[in-house]
Structure 1
Amino acid sequence: MSSVNKEKIFISNLTGLGMRSYGVSVKYYEGTEFNPHKRIDYNAAITLAEHESGFLMRLNKQEVFFNQHEPDTISERFAAVISRSLYPVETVIDGWGKQVAGIVNHQEILNRWENNKRQLLEKYEGPVVSDFTAAADRKIATSSLLQRSMDYDLFWNLFFHPKYMAYSEKYMQPADLYLSVIPYRSPVRFPGMQRIIPQVTEYGSIEVKFVSEEQEAPEELLPEAKKETPCFMKATVSFDLDVKHHFAMHTNAVLEIYQQEGKYTAIPVKKLQFVMYQMM
């Protein structure tokens, strides 16, 4: 099994990378449930093109399913309209995978939203629709507000989490991970430790692992029955980067919320699992 030099962990040779497509699944569990009570699945595609400041990245999301079916409730249909308006979204990244510009196709997104909003208003009416379209208008109004709204997306959080850093001689480095786990709130900070595995995996990837510290869970994440009892949370993430380009292949992230019973026993309260796997 070959090894990788930790000093060389940065995105390189992105020219010619072309398109990467992924399947994404986000699942939400309650307590000790084996099956998720809620899940969202979609396909994501990323294309790169050379840009004077690095690389123009175009991200598209398609085929969004809620609980394994096409959108059918009003809230799901509204969410689908927003998704069709926001994507494809474009930004510029440097060789380290970091954004060096905000959203650069803002006008294109505005045009899509105006078209989709018109169709929505032709089909639905009432105060709920008015409130939804007004909120979306505010979100999409400016490039800076649109950029902020992208920070509420788990895919965005994990894709842009820094994986390329100056690791220590033990291949480890303190790091902060930010995850959007509270609806309509800024991402939650998870301080922890990140390490790179020096051996290349059997399927040709470099593995980067993040494990957060244990911290108290915000009340907003707890079910009503648990809000009077202290609960804790911990995040673990495994990133697979391809050896040639050091670009995202697979990501598996788990957020666990639990109660402590004694020194060694944890009682599950909630779990969120994000899985992204490369399709091509």
Structure 2
Amino acid sequence: MYYINESEVPSYDNYRTYKIRKGDTLQSVASELGVEAQELRRYHNMRCNIPDLIEADFKSYLELLILAPEDIEVTTSSVETVRKRVVFGSKAFTIPFYPININNSYKVKYAIEKGDKVKKIEFDVSVKWLRADKNGICFFEIDRLSKVLIDGSEADTKVDVLAEMASSILYPMQVVVDQNGNWIDIFNYQTIKERWEDEKIKVLDYYDGKQVLRYIDAIEYTLRNEESLLKSLSDDWFLKVFFNGVHTCYGSNLVIEKDTRFSIMPKKAIVNTDAEQKIEEYLDASNLIVIKQNGEFTDEDLKEKYLIDDEIAGYYSAVYSLNPNHYSIEKIALECTLNIASPRKVTIEIRNLNEKKEVAIASRQSIFIAEEKKKDGFFKGLFKRY
């Protein structure tokens, strides 16, 4: 279940809706209403909240299906005549990573489900482009703009307060990102380590006891060198999801296979899948580029880790919405499930908080592409890791 405050969720009262009953499927409802299943899905997805998007079928928590007005016949062909096609960069079927001057703030929400228990985490973060080298390697600054809220409240237990104090030393964090938008390294390791020396004094003044000393030892072990810190952050959900390589070439079929690795529980259950990454040919109703990742997985390593005999299966799904003018990320919705004895599920929502601006498409984006071509060597050259 996606964690969204009720005040942020648009009401469906203004739409004609169908109340989903137990046992309903997309196909059965389509047959009952005499409408093609793909039309039901398309019309609903153009108007629903991101967490309510329909993929292969209804999500278990979905209560209402948005229907087209009875007096309007909606067909795919009529929609495509008014919807705008995605305009790619100067290279065919490629979404370029061109983040110059990006300085956005995002609302980040996690919902972590284990069986019947749900833990919700929320914070605000900024993403600022700093510079790039001649090979297209980019440097970004990531900063926390708010305290972390756990189930709607600030940290109040000793463990959570310690975690908040320890995580504060990471920010602002400077990260290194490759030409396809994958984050690959931390750039300001020495600064982070120096921050910890100051924060450690505050921690010792605030708390004492063996538990605190063990916590400090664990942090110092993580900060012992650059490789250790990078490994510790390798499954950080925000870094992993936001810088996830969606800026790439999709080919004439607009789809690629992507080896996806996701930690459904930090440092524990890591699942792998060959996900399908597909870019929609047309902009959505909000004039945004839509890129979807979908994959199923079974993992023998997890069977051994959890000591269970049943087959482990799960599903990974993510929807990226990009600004069509400069291809920056506007919002992300991700869901990953793991079906074991006590089912695990993670949902992630990332949404741009900057003042909403009308997304206007320049004719063939000639201005953007001309600017891109001026920097002929920007994306060229051999990959270098810092």
**TM-score of the superposition, structure 2-length normalised?**
0.63
1:186/1:151 CA distance change after superposition, 3 Å: farther
Number of the residue aligned with 2:78? none
Q: 1:279 aligns with which of 353, 364, 367?
A: 353
In 2, are the aligned partners of 1:256 and 1:268 still within 8 Å (CA)? no
Q: Check whether the contact 2:84–2:287 (CA below 8 A) recurs between aligned residues.
A: no
Whether 2:80 is the aligned partner of 1:2: answer no
Contact 1:30/1:37, CA 8 A, preserved across alignment: yes
1:193 aligns with 2:193: no
Greater C-alpha Rg: 2
Q: Distance in 1 between matches of 2:167 and 2:321?
A: 26
Asked whether 1:233 is paired with 2:307, we answer no
Q: Which residue of 2 aligns with 1:16?
A: 101
Give the Cα separation in 1 of the matches to 2:148 and 2:260.
Answer: 26
The Cα shift of 1:239 comes to 0.9
Would the aligned equivalents of 1:161 and 1:177 in 2 still touch at CA under 8 Å?
Answer: no
Distance (whole Å) between structure 2 residues aligned to residue 246 and residue 221 of structure 1? 40
Q: Give the aligned partner of residue 378 of structure 2.
A: none
Higher relative contact order, chain-length normalized (CA < 8 Å, sep 6+): 1
User: C-alpha separation between the residues in 1 aligned to 2:246 and 2:338?
Assistant: 25
Moved more, 166-175 or 236-245: 166-175
Q: Aligned to 2:154, what secondary structure does the other structure show?
A: coil
State whether residues 264 and 345 of structure 2, in contact with CA within 8 Å, keep that contact through their aligned partners in structure 1: no
- 2:343 aligned counterpart, secondary structure: strand
CA RMSD of aligned residues (A): 2.4
Give the letter for the 2:332 counterpart. Answer: T
Deviations 1:44-102, CA, capped at 9 Å, x for gaps: 111112233543200112321111110011121121012101111102334432346x2
Structure 1 counterpart of 2:335:
254
Give the 3 Å change call, closer, same or farther, for CA 122–177 of structure 1 in structure 2.
same
Deviation, 1:187, is 4.4
Does the 8 A contact of 2:129 with 2:141 survive in 1? Answer: yes
Identical aligned residues as a percent: 20
After TM superposition, the structure 1 stretch with the greater mean CA deviation from structure 2, 54-63 or 186-195, is 186-195
SS in 2 for 1:20: strand
SS of match in other structure, 2:336: strand
1:58-69 paired onto structure 2 within 5 Å: 58-61=141-144, 62-69=146-153
Change (3 A) 1:141 1:65: same
Partner of 2:63 in structure 1? none
Task: Report how far residue 232 of structure 1 moved.
Answer: 1.5
Unaligned runs of 5+ in 1: 260-266
- Provide the rounded CA distance (Å) in 1 between the counterparts of 2:223 and 2:323: 34
Letter in 2 for 1:119: K
**1:111 alignment partner AA:** E
Maintained 8 Å contact 2:235/2:267: yes
Distance 1:164 1:114, change over 3 A: same
| 8 Å Cα contact 1:90/1:104 also seen in 2 | yes
Contact 1:51–1:92 at 8 Å: present in 2 too?
no
Q: Give, in angstroms, the shift of residue 215 of structure 1.
A: 1.6
Distance 2:224 2:97 in 1: 33
Of the candidates 190, 193, 196, which is equivalent to residue 110 of structure 1? 193
Asked whether the 8 Å contact 1:216–1:233 carries over to 2, the reply is no
Partner of 1:173: 256
Match of 2:211, SS state, is helix
> 2:290 maps to what in 1?
207
Q: d(CA) in 2 for partners of 1:86 and 1:120?
A: 15
Q: 2:182: which partner in 1?
A: 98
Deviation of 1:156 (Å): 1.3
Residues 142-151 or 88-97, more deviating:
88-97
Once the two structures are superposed, what CA deviation does each residue of 1:107-129 show, in whole Å capped at 9, x if it has no partner?
21112111111100112112111
- Find the counterpart in structure 2 of residue 262 from structure 1: none
C-alpha offsets along residues 223-274 of structure 1, whole Å, 9 cap, x if unaligned?
Answer: x9xx454332111111111112212211111112236xxxxxxx99332111
**2-structure distance, mates of 1:77, 1:219:** 34
Q: Distance in 1 between matches of 2:324 and 2:305?
A: 37
Q: Is the 8 A contact 1:232 1:257 kept in 2?
A: yes
Q: 2:272, 2:299 within 8 Å by CA — same for their partners in 1?
A: no
Report the CA distance shift for 1:270/1:48 in structure 2 as closer, same or farther (over 3 A): same
Shift of 1:162: 1.5
Structure 1 stretch displaced more, 185-194 or 53-62: 185-194
